[in-house]
Amino acid sequence: MIDKRVATVEEALDGLGDGASVMVNGFGGAGVPVALIRGLEALPARDLTMISNSMRFIDGYGPAIFADRRVKKVIATAARSRGPDTSAFERQWLDGELQVEMVPQGTFAERMRAGGGGIPAFFTPTGAGTDLAVGKEVRRFGGEDCILEEAMVADFALIRGQRADRWGNIAFTGTQGNFGLVMAMAARTTVVEVAALETRHLAPDAIHIPGIYVERVIERADERDGRTP
Amino acid sequence: MTMPLSRDQIAWRAAQDLAEGMYVNLGLGMPVRVANFAPAGEEIMFHSENGIVGVGPVASEAAADPDLTDAGSQMITLVPGAALFESSQAFAMIRGGHLDVTILGGFEVAANGDLANWDARATHKGQLVGGAMDLVTGAKSVRVMMNHTTRDGGARLLQACTLPLTGLGMVDRVYTDLAVVDVTPDGFLVRELLDGLGPDELQDRSGAELAFAEEYGVLSAPAL
């Protein structure tokens, strides 16, 4: 019997150790796996590569991840905290201790989709001629300069959804989905926390992440407490 | 001279160029205010790059849902006909040329249409590129809203940008607190100028040569 349900965050994150690359979903506060971020914060894993649209959610819900200098590299479209203060991850980047790879958001999504879909690299005009194109191969298509972007994969993906079944099928609500599907495709171990683990199967025509991309599901109440970092 | 336009008035002016049936992405900050001033009675669909077509007004406290936000973390409502989807779709719409208009904030625009709007080289803050590079590359029309000069009075319309570029040669129109300026193959072309401000005075506040349309209009907006 296929059963991807796990009972504890420790089981959900089993195998996440030193040097792991970890994709974390979330955009605009929706789809952020707060319980799993806190679980990651409680682990001893170091030398992490954190891949997420915006670092402020990881830092907001799991501040020790950066404060304890456990991240060696960030791949993101936003590595800036709110407000005028300099956060721990910004300080580490400014001091040259943390590597930050800035990626245009569409390229960020597409690199994961490619990574999960068996496409090793693709050309795009996005970013051509900018600082983010430095060192990338350039070719012209349709009279337009395009840069070669490589696929991106990771060891883990951590995602928040609304409902799941034991087969790992996931349904989102509202704008939770964002990078969840492409992260699930691109990660070797995809873990999804949901508000409700259904005892029956989800309706097959209302599934946002097919369970084939998902390894573990866990039921966890919303831990945001109405706050957005 | 009439008072320079407020942020809301610049947004109002940008909104007057939107029309029935358009699909439009509004950037964080000033540009999202454009939706408040969309022409009444015309159906314009606002796209948000976190996965929405059909963004409606900000939600009331009672209706606010933290799982229904726009790209700027605002809890929003949806309009009838809205659709929700994941990020690779949100960006296929942008990159595949399906958006009619993107309106973004800017630091600098050059006479050749280059835009710098993502890295102000702050010495104490991290970087943030977001979806701007995709939006300027993919949208059919790229429009920028910004104050005409920096806080210190420095020009933002320039011969060449000094800050890191977001995209090359992509800007079509700039809305400022003083003027509406198109970017043409021959450089900047002023379409509207604030009442009481002379062409020479606008030129003095700009870092590249301005041409003026033969019958340029008066830039005005209602009190907001």
Closest CA to A106 of B88, B104, B140: B88
What's the whole-number average pLDDT of chain A? 97
| Host H or E run for residue A65 | helix A63-67
Task: Give A96's contacts (C-beta < 8 A, 6+ positions apart).
Answer: none
Q: pLDDT above 70 covers what percent of chain A?
A: 99
Instruction: State which residue of chain A sits closest to B166, comparing Cα positions.
Output: A130
Catalytic residue among B20, B49, B209, B215: B49
Buried b (16+ CB within 10 A) or exposed e, A179-204: bbbbbbbbbebbbbbbbebeeeebee
Res A140: pLDDT:
98
What is the CATH number assigned to the segment(s) B7-219?
3.40.1080.10
Q: pLDDT above 90 covers what percent of chain A?
A: 97
Through-space distance between the first and last CA atoms of chain B, rounded to whole angstroms: 18
pLDDT in tens, B167-197: 999 999 999 999 999 999 999 999 999 999 9
A185 by DSSP, 3-state: which? helix
Shortest Cα distance, chain A CAs vs residue B82, angstroms: 11
Average pLDDT rounded to a whole number, residues B3-15: 97
Tell me the chain B residues in contact with residue A86 when contact means C-beta distances shorter than 8 Å: 124-125
Burial of residue A67 (CB within 10 Å: 0-12, 13-18, 19+) is middle
pLDDT at residue A228 is higher than 80:
no
Tell me the chain B residues in contact with residue A26 when contact means C-beta distances shorter than 8 Å: none
Residue A128 phi, psi (nearest 5): -60, 135
CB atoms within 10 A of CB A2: 8
Res A93: pLDDT:
97
DSSP type of residue B38? P
Which one of A52, A105, A141, A183 makes the best mutation probe of the B interface by having the most chain B beta carbons within 10 Å?
A105
Could A131 and B165 be called an inter-chain contact, meaning their C-beta atoms sit closer than 8 Å? Answer: yes
Task: Give A118's contacts (C-beta < 8 A, 6+ positions apart).
Answer: none
Average pLDDT rounded to a whole number, residues A92-111: 97
Q: Which of A78, A89, A129 faces B165 most closely, judged by CB atoms? A: A129
Domain residue ranges in chain B: 7-219
Q: What's the CA gap between A25 and B58, in Å, rounded?
A: 23
Task: Give B202's contacts (C-beta < 8 A, 6+ positions apart).
Answer: B148, B178, B179, B190, B193, B210
Could A130 and B95 be called an inter-chain contact, meaning their C-beta atoms sit closer than 8 Å? Answer: no
A14 by DSSP, 3-state: which? coil
Please, what sign has the CA dihedral across residues A103, A108, A110, A111? positive
Token representation of residue A98: 């943390």
Angle at A140 between CA B47 and CA B160, to 5 degrees: 70
pLDDT in tens, B87-146: 999 999 999 999 999 999 999 999 999 999 999 888 899 999 999 999 999 999 999 999
Which residues of chain B are at the A interface, by a Cβ-Cβ cutoff of 8 Å?
Answer: 48-52, 65-74, 84-88, 90-91, 94-95, 119, 123-134, 137-138, 164-168
Closest CA to B105 of B92, B119, B122: B119
Res B122: pLDDT:
87
Q: What's the CA gap between A66 and A47, in Å, rounded?
A: 11
pTM of the model: 0.97
Pairing, β A154-164 against β B187-194: unpaired
Could B85 and A113 be called an inter-chain contact, meaning their C-beta atoms sit closer than 8 Å? Answer: no
Shortest Cα distance, chain B CAs vs residue A1, angstroms: 30
Could A178 and B50 be called an inter-chain contact, meaning their C-beta atoms sit closer than 8 Å? Answer: yes
Ordered by where they begin, the domains of chain A are 18-80+87-121+151-219 (3.40.1080.10)
Could B129 and A128 be called an inter-chain contact, meaning their C-beta atoms sit closer than 8 Å? Answer: no
Shortest Cα distance, chain B CAs vs residue A129, angstroms: 7
Q: What's the CA gap between A100 and A95, in Å, rounded?
A: 12
Of A158-162, A193-197, B36-40, B188-192, where does mean pLDDT reach its minimum?
B36-40
Q: What are the CA-CA distances from residue A84 to residues A58, B75, B137, B151 (Å)?
A: 18, 23, 30, 17
Confidence of residue B214 (pLDDT cuts 50, 70, 90): very high
Average pLDDT rounded to a whole number, residues B8-32: 96
Q: What's the CA gap between A169 and A153, in Å, rounded?
A: 20
pLDDT in tens, B198-213: 999 999 999 999 999 9
- Radius of gyration over every alpha carbon of chain B, rounded to an integer in angstroms: 17
> Which amino acid, A218?
I
pLDDT at residue B1 is higher than 80:
no
pLDDT in tens, A130-153: 999 999 999 999 999 999 999 999
Res B29: pLDDT:
87
Could B129 and A106 be called an inter-chain contact, meaning their C-beta atoms sit closer than 8 Å? Answer: no
Task: Please give the residue that has the higher pLDDT: either B31 or B122.
Answer: B31
Chain A / chain B CB contacts < 8 angstroms: 160
Pairing, β B52-58 against β B45-48: antiparallel
pLDDT at residue A226 is higher than 90:
no
Could A182 and B124 be called an inter-chain contact, meaning their C-beta atoms sit closer than 8 Å? Answer: no
pLDDT in tens, B54-101: 999 999 999 999 999 999 999 999 999 999 999 999 999 999 999 999
DSSP B129-155: -TTHHHHHHH-SEEEEE--SB-TTS-B
B213 by DSSP, 3-state: which? strand
Could B86 and A208 be called an inter-chain contact, meaning their C-beta atoms sit closer than 8 Å? Answer: yes
Active site residue B209: no
Q: What's the CA gap between A166 and A169, in Å, rounded?
A: 7
DSSP type of residue A213? G
pLDDT at residue B11 is higher than 80:
yes
Burial of residue B123 (CB within 10 Å: 0-12, 13-18, 19+) is exposed
- What is the number of alpha carbons within 13 Å of residue A146 lying toward its C-beta? 16
Instruction: State which residue of chain A sits closest to B67, comparing Cα positions.
Output: A30
Cβ-contact B37, B12 below 8 angstroms? yes
